[in-house]
A = this chain, B = another copy of it.
Amino acid sequence: MKAYKIPEATVMRLSIYSRFLHQLMLEGSETVSSGEIAEGVGVSSAQVRKDLAYFGEFGTRGVGYKVDELYGYIMKILGLDRQWNAIIIGAGKLGSALALYQGFADRGFNIKAVLDINPQIIGARLDGIEVEALGKLAERVKEQAINIGVITVPASVAQEVTDQLIQAGVKAILNFSPRILKVPQDVVLRNVDLSVNLEVLSFNLALNHR
């Protein structure tokens, strides 16, 4: 792995390729070409090859890629050859929905704890997990060896819980609150801003409706 600076877009596409390859495995395909992957996920074949070239040479000229092998390589590159432990802060509608989302467990992400500050919600059960008090944050992060914090609290308290997560040693944060969070250099942060996404649609609709 000669990885140094990999474009984020490349990483996102690798995730998508891996799902496509998984699909092919279920269908029993043995080999696949960059062109077929490209067709399947909606990018160019050169793009597929360039993305893979960041990490090595996985194919055979004249033939293509062995589906299961390539799948294994990508899963390893993405760090999905192991399990990750996540904690969800905020057990409102969105936090609860994420806690119960099967897609996470399927890819090796285990929700180990769900916290909230609202006494009305604390104690509720989500599948196998009980919603606990926010005060348990540091304790749960340590005890469950949490790698990833998921933030689904209102914007007003998002920075505060982020600081607590970082204080407790969490190095990766997925933020669903509509708030720009400040984190140290060594903490990875990704934002999923639902309103921004809708507003990009609105912009495009408005362009046409003029």
Residues of A within 8 A of B (CB): 3, 8, 11-12, 14-16, 18-19, 40-42, 77-80, 82, 84, 86, 92-94, 96-98, 100-101, 103-104, 107-109, 147-148, 171-174, 178, 180, 182, 186, 188, 190, 192-209
Q: Which of B3, B107, B196, B206 contacts A195 (CB 8 A)?
A: B107
Residues of B within 8 A of A42 (CB): 180, 182
The answer to whether B194 touches A192 (Cβ under 8 A) is yes
- Report whether A174 and B188 are in contact in the complex, using a CB–CB cutoff of 8 Å: no
Most buried by B among A79, A96, A103: A79
Nearest opposing residue in chain B for A175, CB measure: B197
Report the minimal beta-carbon distance from A126 to chain B, rounded to whole angstroms: 10
Q: Is the CB of A178 within 8 A of B98?
A: no
Query: A193: which B residues are within 8 A, CB to CB?
Result: 15-16
In the bound complex, what is the Cα–Cα distance between A14 and B193 (angstroms)? 13
- Which residues of chain B are within 8 angstroms of A93 by Cβ–Cβ distance? 96-97, 100-101
Q: A80-B202, A180-B40, A205-B147 are in contact. Are A196 and B16 (CB under 8 A)?
A: yes
- Contact present for B172 and A201 (CB under 8 Å): yes
Q: Do B204 and A172 touch across chains, with their CB atoms under 8 A apart?
A: yes
Residues of B within 8 Å of A199, CB to CB, are 11, 14-15, 18, 78-80, 107
Q: Knowing A78-B206, A101-B93 touch, does A190 contact B194 (C-beta < 8 A)?
A: no
